[in-house]
Every structure is written in C-alpha cells, then in structure tokens.
Amino acid sequence: MKPILILLFLILGFWSVITTFRAIYLILTNEFNGSKSTWILISMIGVIGPILWITKGKKLIVKTNSIKNGQKIAEKNFQVENKTE
C-alpha cells in the first residue's frame, strides 16, 4: 500500500509542476484576458493552482485565427498559381 501511495504523490507532484510551467508559458506567449501576473501566481500555488488554471484560467486565453489566416494565405497562393498556368 505504501509504494502505491508514494507513487501517486510523485505523479501528482510532477503533474502539478508540468501544468504550472505550461500555464506560465501559455500566459506569457498568448494574449490574455485578465491579469497575467495574478494568474502566474495562482498557477504556482501547490496542487490547487494548476487545478484552478485548468478549470478557470485556460478560458481567459484569447484564441487567434492563425490557422485560418494560414489557410487563407495558402488558398490565395494556390489560386494565383492556377491563374498563371
């Protein structure tokens, strides 16, 4: 029983650290509705911070249309190539 409990705590700890680093990276590299510094501090609070980030903080990231813009550019290039042939 003890090894399983220790293993679960290790997994929970690593998950918490990985989620915290990912949250900080996403906050710093994307547009964000809300206070970036507040959410960075919240995500750094033990195990509770990453849980709060997943349930509430992820919704504050502004999603850009970079994929759609890239598709539009590719479509325009394709149309230009077809017209020249």
The tens digit of pLDDT for each residue in 42-66 reads: 999 989 999 999 999 999 988 765 5
Q: Which residues of the chain have pLDDT under 70?
A: 64-85
| pLDDT at residue number 44 | 93
| pLDDT at residue number 41 | 95
| pLDDT at residue number 63 | 77
The answer to whether 57 touches 45, Cβ cutoff 8 Å, is no
Say how far residue 35 (Cα) sits from the centre of its chain: 16
CB-side neighbour CA atoms (13 Å) of 61: 18
| pLDDT at residue number 79 | 59
| pLDDT at residue number 66 | 53
| pLDDT at residue number 14 | 95
Which pTM does this prediction carry?
A: 0.68
